[in-house]
Chains A and B, each alone.
Chain A
């Protein structure tokens, strides 16, 4: 632990690691160093570096317009010309590499003439409304005009020009004003190189040339609104609408996106306490200056009118809410918890944390439940997504986390994606992956549905194994069978690093004829030859990396499949170096962190089982309370017990189980059976409609803490504005609310800042030992394990040996799910997500992102649709063993016949009304990915939806006109 107490850095905007200089061209890796002289200064850089970059490193600024260090140089503006002794002409410094002994001059009178001439041409076709332009003060064209000393423009404005060109305002977040475009093509290259979407082109030539986005405008094009082009544009041509409205920001604070598991680093660019824009941080370890539409633009929910900023209580869920002060709400909650525990026993209470919470929030919540409630009934929403990852990886390799860093993909030769949809779920990482695929890496996709990566611009999957939903384990066994029977196992690696006995048992098992591709082909719906070819490619194609998502975990055999993936990686020697590995793509921002922080009922922080006496003693002495050695209830167990009357009080922080958990009617019935449901959230979410106490939460912009992304990267969340949840009183960060509740329950928690909590975590968790806010200020982010041996963190794990010691193979017998198709339910429903919306959608639905996804629809194969007389856009009723709902049909050949697909971003869709309570054998992770259903054409909403609408309207009215109630 640090002996220096954490204080907020006085310059909040920039920390030492954080160099925002634009070096003009990307950094180059090379062991060979080159020394040259630029304007008389010697500078030494890696071979292959551009003269421009070398100059800027030497502190010499070269004028430039078309170059920026996030993109490959292009050499079109010719503003960066230099003179090189002994060479003829005026080469562009951005496209000319350094060479040993060169003598370069960047400022001569000839160069000045050329540059002025170039600028004059640019400016002659550019409006001169700088004073009223939105980027006044933040425009590279303006800067360059100044730098080259442009004083007059000899070409008049009478001639033909582009000044009247019409603006494209179609994108809700940014404007395209072609009159200001200098055709530097930075936007086009950003869209290609950074994002990999190829939505923009420069059409026409010479004077006619202009930037074009598909047919009509940005919204109708392939554009996914990642913002890379806006970021790259040196002028006001592509600019955020918020900047047009509010003017340029005056300070900036580095923080972390609160959406997905990529964990992009952003600069919150502020004007006082108002966010003007969020721009991706070029030094972000996970995103290197890239972003997606959610983190970049969809942060307006933090100030949305639906947000509830007042504590509220009520006796019954059929009463209107009563607005109260913080103290009253907290005391009420504490009294209820005490009453309930006195009456029904300690174990009748519990807590649920969320992957949307910071590490510090999760930590204090589980501490509250374990130390103060006196039970281990604490669980997290990872239960319904990645709990099998935690289980499966711990069993096989010894650590419940991905093995690699995102950048590792740039060393991969074969990429296998199983049950994940990176372009929608993990967009910024998908862009990096696409870059590697364009460089020639091979791609194997195992997914029932044709995700975008199967075929997108300059990316084509080598194999798309279109397996039937629910047959993952058969797939992994079939692939393993090929390895074992065709001699493709790396036995040396296995002998050295794995438990040989477990390998033998596994080998003999998968070698059985019943596990051959031929035997499993019909079950899988994939030709045996394809399975064999994919397995051979995986084993022999060089560095092979597996990326997987919820399509692996959310099955009755989710944990088995995770172990199967680990088996495959170990057998082929693909763990323990760059370019390989087992990579779970985590859904929400802090899935990894919330699991690390001990929010599972059987584990303390750092994955130590509650029955481990040493670990328990450590926590008991640190917390000063006796702790239970018994695993607590998991979310589904809590809910079942609630229905039976044995579970009565729930503290639910940032999680919306009524929308995100399976079998909604079962969940809501359980909530109705409880006597005190405490919800802490930004909005009156679905669960809050069943709550008795509502604690308004603070958004990620209003608090400090840390998030841990899918590559174990701990990144800082920094408070950029005062919490808005005060209602007259001071607002509170979420951990403060939990700490206050703890105090009211007789156990004061003495933290003054989230940094104190992180220090406590570091003191009690070996893999976090070296983590502190101070370190994060210094390094930007750090990947755990971070301890004395690895003070700067550990990008790649299991390098010399597995965390477990020896890797262990497990037998993966395929057991078909009991959720079978029948005459009555002949189709399989599987679920997924889309780019512009996030999880239950509580945040993204309250932003302009609804422009892309206003409602959830069901993809159905034209063949199945035709059989049922359904056409595109029809309302269809979907019935399962659990319930019925109605959604709009979208005919699509992305799904195979017999399979339908939907998302669950909108509560009224009731997608989880139809999912069943089937779950993973080891962790109870629900089987979201397989539900047997029937589909019929209907004309009205389902009964559930009608009831939902009524109930929801009533609940919303209970929270309206709150001022009058107070």
Chain B
């Protein structure tokens, strides 16, 4: 999958959780969603992407979620 595709998909997930008042919990939920539904290779790729490009194109809450809560 291209980084662009993953970035779009991750941002879509982030957008769903954006309206929650408790953003700490919301970030955990984003991370959990990625852990539960994304194949390992996709998670590795997005984590690498965040490292390499400082998460260009990703929303801030998504970057936080990926950094803090994605399991590899």
Q: Which residues of A pack against B, CB within 8 Å? A: 347, 376-377, 505, 509, 556, 559-560, 601-602, 609, 611, 630-633, 637, 640-641, 644, 646, 811, 813, 815, 917, 919, 921-924
User: CB distance A631 to B36 under 8 Å?
Assistant: yes
Contact of B1 among A376, A644, A922 (CB under 8 A): A644
Q: A641-B1, A813-B19, A815-B15 are in contact. Are A924 and B9 (CB under 8 A)?
A: yes
A-B contact pairs, 20 of them (CB 8 A): A377-B39, A505-B20, A509-B19, A559-B16, A560-B16, A602-B36, A630-B40, A631-B39, A632-B39, A640-B1, A640-B5, A641-B1, A641-B41, A644-B1, A646-B41, A813-B15, A921-B9, A922-B37, A923-B37, A924-B9
When distances are taken between beta carbons in the complex, the residues of chain A under 8 Å from B12 are 556, 921
CB of B13 closer than 8 Å to a CB of A? yes
Which chain B residue shows the least CB distance to A632?
B39
Q: Is the interface of A mostly helix, strand, loop or mixed?
A: loop
When distances are taken between beta carbons in the complex, the residues of chain B under 8 Å from A560 are 16
Contact of A505 among B13, B16, B21 (CB under 8 A): B21
Q: A640-B2, A641-B1 are in contact. Are A921 and B16 (CB under 8 A)?
A: yes
Shortest CB-to-CB span from A637 to chain B, Å, is: 6
User: CB distance A631 to B1 under 8 Å?
Assistant: no
Bound Cα distance A377, B21 (Å)? 36
Q: A376-B39, A631-B39 are in contact. List 9 more A-B contacts (CB 8 A).
A: A601-B39, A631-B37, A646-B41, A813-B15, A919-B9, A921-B13, A922-B37, A923-B37, A924-B9
Which chain B residue shows the least CB distance to A505?
B21
Bound Cα distance A767, B59 (Å)? 40
User: CB distance B15 to A921 under 8 Å?
Assistant: yes
When distances are taken between beta carbons in the complex, the residues of chain B under 8 Å from A559 are 16
Which chain A residue shows the least CB distance to B18?
A813
Bound Cα distance A559, B36 (Å)? 16
User: CB distance A637 to B16 under 8 Å?
Assistant: no
Q: Which of B1-31 contact A (CB under 8 A)?
A: 1-2, 5, 9, 12-13, 15-16, 18-21
User: CB distance B36 to A609 under 8 Å?
Assistant: yes
User: CB distance B41 to A347 under 8 Å?
Assistant: yes
User: CB distance A637 to B42 under 8 Å?
Assistant: yes
Q: Which 8 A-B pairs have the closest CB atoms?
A: A921-B12, A813-B19, A640-B1, A630-B40, A811-B19, A633-B39, A815-B15, A921-B13
Bound Cα distance A919, B16 (Å)? 14
Shortest CB-to-CB span from B56 to chain A, Å, is: 18
Contact of A611 among B1, B5, B16, B36 (CB under 8 A): B36
Shortest CB-to-CB span from B46 to chain A, Å, is: 13
Bound Cα distance A632, B33 (Å)? 14
Contacts between the two chains (Cβ within 8 Å), count: 59
Bound Cα distance A944, B5 (Å)? 25
Shortest CB-to-CB span from A609 to chain B, Å, is: 6
Bound Cα distance A556, B15 (Å)? 11
Shortest CB-to-CB span from B48 to chain A, Å, is: 15
Bound Cα distance A923, B2 (Å)? 18
Bound Cα distance A811, B22 (Å)? 12
Which chain A residue shows the least CB distance to B33?
A922
Interface-centre pick from B12, B18, B35 (highest chain A CB count, 10 A): B12
Which chain A residue shows the least CB distance to B12?
A921
User: CB distance A922 to B13 under 8 Å?
Assistant: yes
User: CB distance A602 to B37 under 8 Å?
Assistant: yes
Bound Cα distance A631, B70 (Å)? 14
Bound Cα distance A632, B37 (Å)? 8
When distances are taken between beta carbons in the complex, the residues of chain B under 8 Å from A630 are 39-40
Interface string of B34-63 (1 = CB under 8 A from A): 011111111000000000000000000000
Which chain B residue shows the least CB distance to A556?
B12
Bound Cα distance A633, B39 (Å)? 6
Which chain A residue shows the least CB distance to B1?
A640
Bound Cα distance A293, B13 (Å)? 42
Bound Cα distance A559, B37 (Å)? 14
Bound Cα distance A921, B42 (Å)? 15
When distances are taken between beta carbons in the complex, the residues of chain A under 8 Å from B42 are 633, 637
When distances are taken between beta carbons in the complex, the residues of chain B under 8 Å from A632 are 39
Which chain A residue shows the least CB distance to B22?
A505
Contact of A637 among B18, B33, B39 (CB under 8 A): B39
Shortest CB-to-CB span from B12 to chain A, Å, is: 4
When distances are taken between beta carbons in the complex, the residues of chain A under 8 Å from B36 are 602, 609, 611, 631
Bound Cα distance A376, B36 (Å)? 12
Which chain B residue shows the least CB distance to A504?
B21
Which chain A residue shows the least CB distance to B35?
A611
Bound Cα distance A559, B15 (Å)? 13
When distances are taken between beta carbons in the complex, the residues of chain A under 8 Å from B9 are 919, 921, 924
Bound Cα distance A644, B20 (Å)? 36
When distances are taken between beta carbons in the complex, the residues of chain A under 8 Å from B5 are 640, 917
Bound Cα distance A655, B2 (Å)? 26
Bound Cα distance A923, B5 (Å)? 14
Bound Cα distance A422, B19 (Å)? 34
Shortest CB-to-CB span from A924 to chain B, Å, is: 7
Bound Cα distance A856, B1 (Å)? 33
Which chain A residue shows the least CB distance to B11?
A921
